[in-house]
Chains A and B, each alone.
Chain A
Amino acid sequence: MTDPRLSDPHVLDQPWRVWASVGVLGILLFGVLLGVLIIPVVQGRSAGIDAFTAICRALGILPGSPAQPQPASVSPPTPVSQVIWTPDVLQILARGNPERGRAKVVEVCVACHGEQGISVSPDYPNLNGQSGAAIYKQLHDYRTGSRVNQLMTDLAKALEEPMIADVAAYYAGQPKRNPNPATLGELPASIVRLVELGDPSRNIPPCAACHRPGSGGPIEAPILSEQGREYLAQQLRMYASGERRNDVYARMRVIAARLTPAEIDGLSRYYNAGFR
């Protein structure tokens, strides 16, 4: 260490700079060659995939694995609902105009669902404060025949898509009534548990997993709080029997079929009382 040049950090640095770069870049090059060229080409050859396709798959330019033929989808889907939540549909919903919706409601819907969304008969659902996406989904399903109801099918077919969004926006903006806390104590613990925890032993998920506002469930899951007791029970029975079938992935048909009549009654009372 007598050479004074050796004490200069930049002289000391020269081999470091070279060998560190060679080492790090060498490892990187090795990884690229192996991962993107050699392995995919060799794997592809034994799977009957040409080299170019295999490399494109390894890079993610083409779908599938370079090691396996990509399975072709053979069963065409048979959707239970035609509603697809594309950005365009969400834009239509977001642009819904409650004022225009109110005009249509006063003209048509008011006869059964009331101007404020409080229905005139226990057979019809309350719509006050219902989520716009839920109302849109059901009206759209009536239009396409995914859900069938003598009255609603014809009415919904007469509505254009933007008008559906207007009506949905209007009812979504109608206030909820005040829940009645006096009924809180009357519900059996088993019903509350079903709502909060479900019943894993019967593969029943908690109702609250989707039907509580902000639960993160499917966007079209309706708000059930303050819904009519008879309407709720009726719909659960229709799901259980398969008469109603516009639920995506048959979620509600599966769940409802596993509920006992007493549970259907209890859950309907739970939500009717204003619980969330």
Chain B
Amino acid sequence: MGECPVRNVERLCLAHFWVAFAAFLVAALLGTWQMWVRSPLGANIGTPSQYFLSVTAHGVAMAYVLTTFFIMGFGYFVAVTALARPLPGKAWAWGGFWLAITGVALALWAILTGKASVLFTFYPPLTGSAFFYIGLVLVVIGSWIWCVLMLVAMGAWKRENPGRPIPLAMFGTCANAVMWLWTTVGVAVELLFQVIPAALGLVQTIDVGLARTLFSWTLHAIVYFWLIPAYIAFYTMVPRAAGGRLYSDTMGRLTFILFLIYSLPVGMHHLLMDPEHGNGTKFIQVLLTAFVSVPTLLTIFTITASLEIAGRLRGGRGVFGWIASLPWERPMVLATGLGFIMLGFGGFGGLINMGYGMNAMVHNTSWVTAHFHLIFGGSVVIMYFAIAYEVWPRLTGREYPSLTPLRLQLWLWFIGMMVMTVPWHWLGLQGQWRRVANFNYADPIIAPWGPWVVVSLAGGVILLVSALLFVGNLLSLHRSTAMVVARPLYALAVHPPRRVPAALNGFGLWNVLVLILMLVAYGWPLAQFAVEPSPTAIVHRVE
């Protein structure tokens, strides 16, 4: 697989990554503060208004700013390194960047002035400042520019290389871009036609059922938008970092395609407790949700097989001996191992959320908060770290003086995330509710939660230390004097594909299937709001 140096996109990539990680650091600080004030140690510190302001800022920074900017920066990096050609439309890329920055600034201003404490998932009829929503729309429009550029880059490469398979890293990136274009339609319609008119005072009521349905369209697929970079690293970087080869290139392509088609028509499993939809439509989406586990299972199999190849090439023997012989000192390999453990626990929790009856019990409890912190903050973000550690030397031309602080940081993140989320899951099973600012630990029912909340807080503190160390590691690289030695980044497959079916080299067929799935899964659930308008709710302004 041909590779080229990072041609002229260093500043573009670094700008995106640094915005992402600056937001990440601020959000980590806020998150730790939130854990503290909810614990018995921080009782009566801060007001609920401050708490919800902080939660909104934390959610927006982690879920929208960190992810979107990281994914855009990583996409630009992949487009030039995997395709070995310059990025088309670089001026557009900078335009998208500044548009998204403007959006972040608007949203941040609204949040920090207390005009948008509606949490990052909006919860209409709560309505904050229009600037908050308009800012987020600008971020989305910036990311659409990124999507188009990714597809343009792929198209140009295909024209130059007729019949050849697109490098897997770029195929995954484009799958994510296509999925993101589908994904954002739901939230864009919700914001533009429902929430922003309400925020501007043009309408006094809002159809909450419709708004929640549109948001559910986006809500699950957005998680896969965040996740796919981690999977791109699993398939294209991890086998090389471990010193082996990718077990199957086709498995990778199938995985990204399955994410594209099964992440979208499944969002209603977030609405299992909502009254505006019938059991039958919920059933269809839950059944389709079950198929989202397929690409993850394919990936665990393929990556484990790839690691086994590497382990045996390095002299590992026996059933488990290859595991010990893997180069765990390399951050990418270590992060994959730790990420898989968190993915295992988080995936198990996710299967519980998917079941209608079990979901009814955990739905409004800390279980759900713990689940998405473990699976996103744990397995996905630890791979963001590993990717950053892998691409930073290529972007700066400098090498880490030592890998020890990198490994320490990854271990701290893993330990912190486990210490924080395992008791948090447990508290959810005890009935601890989420989205509340404080608990009354004098209450005999709530008092036993106290020690677990403190343990959870300790996990949060470890995570904060890890976050600081992460940013410190990247900063220290900028000052490093060691020059980077050119080494390949992307893994070869055991059988590198010389040609693949058009279905595994593009998205035309899959877009048609997504359209059919979405028409069946969301057609009637959305149409019913037009056929029989439901009672609307009064807009609650929090400005």
Are A and B associated in one complex? yes
- Contact yes or no, A57 B538, CB < 8 A: no
- Contact yes or no, A27 B163, CB < 8 A: no
**Inter-chain pairs besides A16-B509, A200-B442, A216-B542, 12 sampled, C-beta below 8 Å:** A9-B505, A16-B501, A24-B261, A24-B513, A25-B513, A28-B520, A58-B280, A58-B283, A59-B278, A61-B278, A90-B204, A197-B47
One of A20, A25, A34, A208 near B287 (C-beta < 8 A):
A34
- Contact yes or no, B500 A35, CB < 8 A: no
A-facing residues in B11-65 (Cβ within 8 Å): 44, 47-49
List 17 contacting pairs A-B, 8 Å CB cutoff, sorted by A.
A7-B499, A24-B517, A27-B291, A30-B287, A32-B520, A36-B283, A59-B280, A59-B524, A60-B278, A61-B278, A91-B204, A201-B440, A201-B442, A201-B443, A208-B48, A212-B49, A219-B538
- Contact yes or no, A34 B283, CB < 8 A: yes
- Contact yes or no, A90 B443, CB < 8 A: no
Closest 4 pairs between A and B when the two form their complex, measured CB to CB: A60-B278, A35-B283, A58-B280, A200-B440
Nearest Cβ on chain B to A189's Cβ, whole angstroms: 10
CB closest residue in chain A, given B288: A31
- Contact yes or no, A27 B287, CB < 8 A: yes
B-facing residues in A218-267 (Cβ within 8 Å): 219
CB closest residue in chain A, given B532: A61
One of A65, A193, A197, A206 near B279 (C-beta < 8 A):
A65
Chain A residue contacts of B44, Cβ below 8 A: 193, 197
Interface string of A179-223 (1 = CB under 8 A from B): 000000000000001001100110000101100101111010000
CB closest residue in chain A, given B520: A28
Kindly state the separation between the CA atoms of A67 and B542 in the bound complex, as whole angstroms.
40
- Contact yes or no, B442 A16, CB < 8 A: no
Chain A residue contacts of B49, Cβ below 8 A: 208, 212, 215
A80 within 8 A of B: no
A40 within 8 A of B: yes
A-facing residues in B490-519 (Cβ within 8 Å): 499-505, 509-510, 513, 516-517
Kindly state the separation between the CA atoms of A58 and B513 in the bound complex, as whole angstroms.
24
One of A9, A20, A21, A60 near B528 (C-beta < 8 A):
A60
Kindly state the separation between the CA atoms of A157 and B513 in the bound complex, as whole angstroms.
63
Kindly state the separation between the CA atoms of A59 and B163 in the bound complex, as whole angstroms.
46
Chain A residue contacts of B190, Cβ below 8 A: none
Interface string of B257-280 (1 = CB under 8 A from A): 000010000000000000011111
Kindly state the separation between the CA atoms of A269 and B223 in the bound complex, as whole angstroms.
50
Kindly state the separation between the CA atoms of A81 and B541 in the bound complex, as whole angstroms.
23
- Contact yes or no, B48 A206, CB < 8 A: yes
Chain A residue contacts of B284, Cβ below 8 A: 28, 31-32, 35-36
Interface string of B514-543 (1 = CB under 8 A from A): 001100100011001000000010101111
Nearest Cβ on chain A to B283's Cβ, whole angstroms: 3
Chain A residue contacts of B438, Cβ below 8 A: 197, 200
Nearest Cβ on chain B to A90's Cβ, whole angstroms: 4
Chain B residue contacts of A61, Cβ below 8 A: 278, 528
Q: A206-B48, A216-B542 are known contacts. Are A36 and B126 too (CB-CB below 8 A)?
A: no
Which of A7, A27, A65 neighbours the largest number of chain B CB atoms within 10 Å of its CB? A27
A76 within 8 A of B: no
B248 within 8 A of A: no
Per the CB 8 Å criterion, the residue count for chain B at the interface is 50
**Interface residues of A: mostly helix, strand, loop or mixed?**
helix
Kindly state the separation between the CA atoms of A208 and B517 in the bound complex, as whole angstroms.
46
Interface string of A1-15 (1 = CB under 8 A from B): 000000101101100
- Contact yes or no, A60 B525, CB < 8 A: yes
A85 within 8 A of B: yes
Nearest Cβ on chain B to A190's Cβ, whole angstroms: 11
- Contact yes or no, B204 A35, CB < 8 A: no
- Contact yes or no, A57 B279, CB < 8 A: yes
- Contact yes or no, B280 A90, CB < 8 A: no
A87 within 8 A of B: yes
- Contact yes or no, A9 B501, CB < 8 A: yes
- Contact yes or no, B279 A7, CB < 8 A: no
B369 within 8 A of A: no
Chain B residue contacts of A24, Cβ below 8 A: 261, 513, 516-517
Chain B residue contacts of A91, Cβ below 8 A: 204
B432 within 8 A of A: no
CB closest residue in chain B, given A90: B204
CB closest residue in chain A, given B47: A196
Kindly state the separation between the CA atoms of A34 and B286 in the bound complex, as whole angstroms.
12
B281 within 8 A of A: yes
CB closest residue in chain B, given A36: B280
CB closest residue in chain A, given B517: A28
Q: A7-B499, A87-B205, A90-B205 are known contacts. Are A200 and B280 too (CB-CB below 8 A)?
A: no
Interface string of B320-353 (1 = CB under 8 A from A): 0000000000000000000000000000000000
Nearest Cβ on chain B to A53's Cβ, whole angstroms: 12
Nearest Cβ on chain A to B261's Cβ, whole angstroms: 6
Kindly state the separation between the CA atoms of A212 and B276 in the bound complex, as whole angstroms.
32
A55 within 8 A of B: yes
Kindly state the separation between the CA atoms of A13 and B253 in the bound complex, as whole angstroms.
14
- Contact yes or no, B509 A17, CB < 8 A: yes
Kindly state the separation between the CA atoms of A93 and B278 in the bound complex, as whole angstroms.
36
- Contact yes or no, B283 A31, CB < 8 A: yes
One of A12, A17, A27, A55 near B280 (C-beta < 8 A):
A55
Q: A9-B499, A24-B513 are known contacts. Are A66 and B47 too (CB-CB below 8 A)?
A: no
Chain B residue contacts of A214, Cβ below 8 A: 114-115, 541-543
